[in-house]
Amino acid sequence: MNLKPLADRVIIKMVEAEETTKSGIILTGSAKEKPEVAEVIAVGPGGMVDGKEVVMTVKVGDKVITSKYSGTQVKVEGEEYTIVRQGDILATVE
């Protein structure tokens, strides 16, 4: 199955939390921070959304930060993805 976002939607996948600290300490599952950064997997075409022209500014492969409780979570073939509107993306990470 292949996900294809519509309009101004973006499909993202959360990036796994670091398993070791900068000093080399290995973290247990409960000590890991929740991931805040996601990778863009697919981008909709943009166009007219709610009477306004939307130009998509993110692209596949970008690392982004989204609103904490935004989007819809979906599971496809064992992988978890989140579908968000481009407006819910707060920043790109370089």
Residue 71 has pLDDT above 70, yes or no: yes
Domain annotation covers residue 61: yes
The answer to whether position 41 is within a domain reads yes
Residue type for 86, please?
A: Q
Average pLDDT over residues 78-88: 95
| CATH number, residue 29 | 2.30.33.40
More confident residue, 25 or 81: 81
Q: Rounded to two decimals, what is the model's pTM?
A: 0.79
**Is residue 73 over pLDDT 50?**
yes
The mean pLDDT of the chain is: 86
Residues 6+ positions from 47 with CB-CB distance below 8 Å? 7, 8, 53, 54
pLDDT value, residue 31: 46
Residue with the bigger pLDDT between 47 and 36: it is 47
Report yes or no on 40 lying in a domain. yes
3 within a domain of the structure (yes/no): no
Which pLDDT does position 45 carry in this prediction?
96
Of 76, 20, 19, 12, nearest to 39 by C-alpha is 12
- 42 is in which domain, residue-wise? 9-93
Q: Is residue 77 part of a domain?
A: yes
Number of domains the chain contains: 1
Residue 85 included in any domain: yes
